[in-house]
Amino acid sequence: MPTGRAILLILLLSFPLALSHWVPALVWVTVLGDALVALFWAYDWERLRAVQGVQATRDCQDTFSLGVANPVRLRLRSRVALGLHLTVVDDCPQAFGFGAGEAEGQLLPHGEWVHEYHLTPDRRGDYDLGKLHVRFRTGLGLASVQRAYDLQHSVRVYPNVAQLRQYELLARRDRLALLGLHRLRLPAAATEFDSLRDYLPDDEMRRVEWNATARRGKLVVKEYDVERMQTVLIAVDCGRTMASRLEGLSKLDHAINASVLLTHVAGSNEDRVGMMAFADEVLAYLPPGKGKHQAPRVTDFLYPLHPRTVESDYQTAFVTIAAKRLSRAVLIVFTDLVDPDSSSRLLRHLPPLARRHQVLCVALSDYELDQELRRPPEDAEQMFRQVMAKSVQEDRNRAIAGLTGRGVVVLNASPGDLSVATVNAYLAIKARGG
């Protein structure tokens, strides 16, 4: 197809035609000029047949993490001795945003062009990356050719598993404080010697086993194992209060991302982790399990969960937990305290579990309420909104006070801090002995 440059040249050459009434010879200027443009266009178009020798690939993971930037790499390789200008559009699902896969670049003769961009999905599920559309132009720029490369690729958007890789990397270097995570400190009686291993950078010197170091001729440190294995049961509310969105994700999605990291950390501490999802009924239950195989089970358990537009039945959920007859466990409930009705039901049915288990209620704080209250009112409408925000905040504070007074630990965290804050609360409970 002709480019904008070719069309512009033809339009410019039409001006002499307008003056040909006074100077008839100018007609030939237009005719010859248009003929030359057509000739060069045909030459340019003929050269562009060589784009058949350009190959394209797309590299990305089969699983994406929800709410984080997932890398996608495009690669074009040329087998022809022709420099090409590229306009690239990658066919991405709407849930990944608009315009992320668009780029321009230059492909040198017999060269390679690589472009990396990131997709940030805001919903879990199965998606397809479609065709890669590339428009080619030469340096002459009179003609262009468009090709569609069939690079169909199916991806599954899981909860945020990327945070687990970051956790493992920092854990190996004893740098978990960079994530904001606290160190698990247990009494001496709560740990026992497990094994010896080679010294790693940043290991504490007090853990060095000097006798083994002298025998081996290199630093060796002691590994300890936690004696007190606990059961951790995570209950996730999938009712209507968890459907509202904060920072691009639903409250349920934030809770699920936090559950994934919490499961991984608890498993690293040799705790048994189980899951339950509920709304107006118990949606699913995963019995507590231990070991490296439990974390992927939890991820698969959480993958299909979505909020429902129904009131949550706390009584049915907590009666189900009580019927499991678990030994003393750490029960972590992800829910929201958004209105007096749901909060009152939670206040009636959650505290009885605290008599047998250590209960942590994790409620997502709505930071937008705080922003609304800090903003000076400029008109009557804004003043009304502040009054409503203040009322919601007071209801929330009463619910938190009511749960705390009945032996329930309440965590009120913002979406950005939820995962780290939940893990730190779990570590604090474990350090106290559950």
- 207 and 218 share a domain? yes
Q: Does residue 165 fall inside a structural domain?
A: no
Cα(295)–Cα(46) distance, integer angstroms: 57
Q: Are residues 306 and 380 in the same domain?
A: yes
Number of domains in the chain: 4
Task: Summarize pLDDT for 167-186 with one digit per residue, the tens.
Answer: 665 555 555 555 555 555 54
What residue numbers bound the domain in which 116 lies?
50-158
Regarding whether 335 and 260 lie in a shared domain, the answer is: yes
pLDDT band at residue 341 using 50, 70 and 90 as cut-offs: confident
253 and 338 both lie in a single domain: yes
Clarify whether residues 418 and 279 are in a common domain.
yes
Say whether pLDDT at 15 is over 80: no
Q: Is residue 257 within 8 Å of residue 280, measured between CB atoms?
A: no
Which pLDDT band holds residue 20 (cuts at 50, 70, 90)? low
Calculate the CA 245 to chain-centre distance. 14
Q: Which CATH number fits the domain that encloses residue 420?
A: 3.40.50.410
Q: Does 251 share its domain with 283?
A: yes
Q: How many other CB atoms sit within 10 Å of the CB of residue 203?
A: 16
Residue 94: Cβ within 10 Å count: 8
Residues 203 and 283 in one domain: no
Q: At residue 367, does pLDDT exceed 90?
A: no
Q: Please report which confidence band the pLDDT of residue 68 belongs to, taking 50, 70 and 90 as the band edges.
A: confident
Confidence of residue 187 (pLDDT cuts 50, 70, 90): very low
Please name the residue that has the structure tokens 């945020």.
160
What's the whole-number mean pLDDT along residues 357-383? Answer: 75
Domain assignment of residue 177, yes or no: no
Q: Is pLDDT of 194 > 70?
A: no
Q: Are residues 200 and 299 in the same domain?
A: no
Residue 332, in any domain of the structure:
yes
| CATH at residue 54 | 2.60.40.10
Average pLDDT, the chain: 80
Does the residue 425 lie in any domain? yes
Residues 306 and 204 in one domain: no
The model's pLDDT over 265-282, given as tens digits with 9 standing for 90+, comes to 888 778 889 999 999 999
pLDDT of 192 strictly over 60: no
171 in a structural domain: no
12 membership: H or E segment, kind and range: helix 4-12
Q: What is the pLDDT of residue 308?
A: 92
Concatenating the DSSP letter of every residue in 209-258 gives -HHHHHHHTS-EEEEEEES---EEEEEEE-SGGG-SEETTEEHHHHHHHH
Across 164-168, average pLDDT:
64
For residues 247-253, average pLDDT: 86
> Is 134 inside a domain boundary?
yes
Give the model's pLDDT for residue 133.
92
61 and 26 in a common domain = no
Task: Note whether residue 304 is domain-resident.
Answer: yes
395 shares a domain with 283:
yes
Q: Which of 31, 49, 67 is a domain's end point? A: 49
- Tell me: the pLDDT tens digits for 391-423? 777 777 787 888 888 888 888 888 778 888 888
Sign, CA dihedral 350-354-356-357, equals positive
Asked whether residue 259 falls in the same domain as residue 329, the answer is yes
Q: Is residue 317 part of a domain?
A: yes
- Cβ proximity of 177 and 317 under 8 Å: no
